Structure 1
């Protein structure tokens, strides 16, 4: 049987105040084309289907359209909730949808749900384990010491009755030890939410969700699919792709990756204002992509982001890299504040923030503002 492993769709997400709905609609349509072209028989979605526990109406509609198209194509769907999802909302209507071959996880109730599919090699058991934490597991295993995420995972996995002679797939949304993270993910301080991959040894394939970078953990068949789109500039170098695996007879799995082509990529460029606004610099670039631009000018460019958007309309972030920003100043001593004038205090603050003195013109502007404020007080 041919599977497509997806995860972390984050439908409805906003990145730097840009709505990603159009980009998500484009990539989901691309996924539908891949499913058809590659004759995928089952799509696995490993959590974080939505970006928020209470998704927007347009996010719900987009997921509805995507899943309905898969059902129309007679493709099975097995999906679990992630830490961004509401388990109750993901599980709503699960019984009705299962009659169309769409299996949505319920909130965890102490048992790991199983969906069994059949192909020419026999049964394939797909275990659906939505995002869990100790507080969720503890009420169902009161005799156990559910003291950590890792212990919770160990207890839950050990509770599953697995037929090792059959092919078994685990769909799970969790932070597995050894995974590489990026800034768009939610992880706990100190890695307290990490779990060991050792508990997955009896599964032929483990479809992971939670970490946004596609990667393997320990072995080739324990994989994070990663997000289908880049959701932060820490993901600029990620190679997003459709992760397809063929589950043949027991012990025989073939994995294929098909690159995604987003409507807008996420890129970073750096240089002076004059350099990056020169026609020769951007003439061969897709200026409609999402950009993080870093200017290296020593002086701030007035209204820089507005000017740059005439060339790069989808700038998500603008930074400076110069003498001022590279120097980290701190207030080491505050003395005689009462004896200093407001202008003197402002000048000291300016030096701390900018690593340079105010110009005479700036001093005059600030003094005029101070006098006006006092007059109006």
Structure 2
């Protein structure tokens, strides 16, 4: 069986003030092309299909188009789980109905790991799906399912989960696990040196949320999501596919890819990356303003690329952003290297604000202030509050 492994689509995400929907539509089309060219038998999406728990309608349409192309046009089974950015309950809507079309979506954490079985020339391949869940959620579900001490760590919670399910797994057969979290092989209580590559938007708090990847021992392949850089988590058969696009400045130098996994008879597993070329790349340019705007000697060829600029000029540079935008319309921000000062990283205009709903503005504020997305419950509270405020305003206007 040949599997295409991807994750962290983050459909609906903005990069600073730039809507990435066109870029995402393009790259999802390239993933479909790769699925055809590589003659894959199934597609695995390891979480974070959306960028937020309540995605904009355009993002919903794009994901629907992508999944429909894979399942209904290419006739490929798609196995997907929810990530920490997804609204699990929303993704679960009609999920059992979609299975008749070959879409297997597991988005609500359970103490009984969901199993999907697909046939191939060598027999059956069993897929085990673990959607994202935080520690409080896992504690509640696991202690409700069995008499046990509540686990203190996420790694402990995963250990308990596999204790409850290990007898269900036939390790003489071929098994693929799909998960979404921080995983690394832990030795003597700590992760292996340089075990994981993080981007600036991915934060592991003191390593307390890193799960020991040895819980996966015995599985033929482990398809992971959550980290945006393609990498292995200890073993070659335990892999993060990485995101299909560069979603932060810290990812500028990282190539993107999907992973093609070949499962032969039991014990024969191989994988290789297939690079993804974006519609617009993300680059960091460094130099003096005069050099970077010299039309006879420009540092890049695709001026529509997203660029972040490290300016070497000393002292105040008048109207630097607008001068750069004449050449590079998608400037994300400037860092004045001499002053060690970052400016206009998140340019906000009154026109930008006027086009946004209260919900979108609050969501942007929350993400900027907390460095994380609204959870599904938090997003629902936000909706309820703004609905109440609007009703109060309407009532006052009519009085």
Normalising by structure 2, report the TM-score: 0.79
Deviation at 1:188, TM superposition (A): 4.2
Q: Distance in 2 between matches of 1:296 and 1:189?
A: 34
Corresponding residue of 1:264: 280
User: Are 1:182 and 2:196 an aligned pair?
Assistant: no
* Partner SS, residue 189 of structure 1: coil
Q: Distance in 1 between matches of 2:91 and 2:85?
A: 11
Q: Distance in 2 between matches of 1:274 and 1:94?
A: 55
> In structure 2, do the counterparts of structure 1 residues 148 and 283 end up closer, same or farther at CA, with 3 Å as the change threshold?
closer
Q: Distance in 2 between matches of 1:40 and 1:126?
A: 16
How many correspondences in the alignment? 324
- Contact between 1:94 and 1:106, CA under 8 Å: does it hold in 2? no
Q: Distance in 2 between matches of 1:130 and 1:11?
A: 18
* Partner SS, residue 136 of structure 1: helix
Q: What is the CA deviation profile of residues 80-122 of structure 1, one whole-angstrom value per residue up to 9, with x for unaligned ones?
A: 0001111111111111100111000041132110100011111
Q: What is the CA deviation profile of residues 13-49 of structure 1, one whole-angstrom value per residue up to 9, with x for unaligned ones?
A: 0111111111000000011111111111110000011
Q: Superposition pairs for residues 290-309 of structure 1, below 5 Å?
A: 290-309=306-325
Q: Superposition pairs for residues 1-377 of structure 1, below 5 Å?
A: 1-72=1-72, 73-142=74-143, 143-145=147-149, 146-160=151-165, 161-177=168-184, 178-185=195-202, 187-282=203-298, 285-322=301-338, 324-325=339-340
- Contact between 2:242 and 2:258, CA under 8 Å: does it hold in 1? no
Q: Distance in 2 between matches of 1:291 and 1:140?
A: 45
* Partner SS, residue 267 of structure 2: coil
In structure 2, the gaps of 5 or more residues are 185-194, 342-399
> In structure 2, do the counterparts of structure 1 residues 286 and 199 end up closer, same or farther at CA, with 3 Å as the change threshold?
same
Root-mean-square deviation (Å):
1.3
Q: Distance in 1 between matches of 2:242 and 2:92?
A: 23
Deviation at 1:140, TM superposition (A): 3.1
- Shift >3 Å, 4+ stretches: none
> In structure 2, do the counterparts of structure 1 residues 206 and 232 end up closer, same or farther at CA, with 3 Å as the change threshold?
same
Q: Distance in 2 between matches of 1:269 and 1:137?
A: 44
> In structure 2, do the counterparts of structure 1 residues 272 and 284 end up closer, same or farther at CA, with 3 Å as the change threshold?
closer
Deviation at 1:184, TM superposition (A): 2.3
Worse-superposed segment, 142-151 or 264-273 = 142-151
Q: Distance in 2 between matches of 1:130 and 1:181?
A: 21
Deviation at 1:284, TM superposition (A): 5.2
> In structure 2, do the counterparts of structure 1 residues 88 and 296 end up closer, same or farther at CA, with 3 Å as the change threshold?
same
Q: Distance in 2 between matches of 1:168 and 1:194?
A: 23
Q: Distance in 1 between matches of 2:164 and 2:128?
A: 12
Deviation at 1:257, TM superposition (A): 1.6
Q: Distance in 2 between matches of 1:280 and 1:226?
A: 37
- Contact between 2:291 and 2:298, CA under 8 Å: does it hold in 1? no
More relative contact order, 1 or 2 (CA 8 Å, 6+ apart): 2
Deviation at 1:302, TM superposition (A): 1.5
* Partner SS, residue 239 of structure 1: coil
Deviation at 1:214, TM superposition (A): 0.4
* Partner SS, residue 303 of structure 2: coil
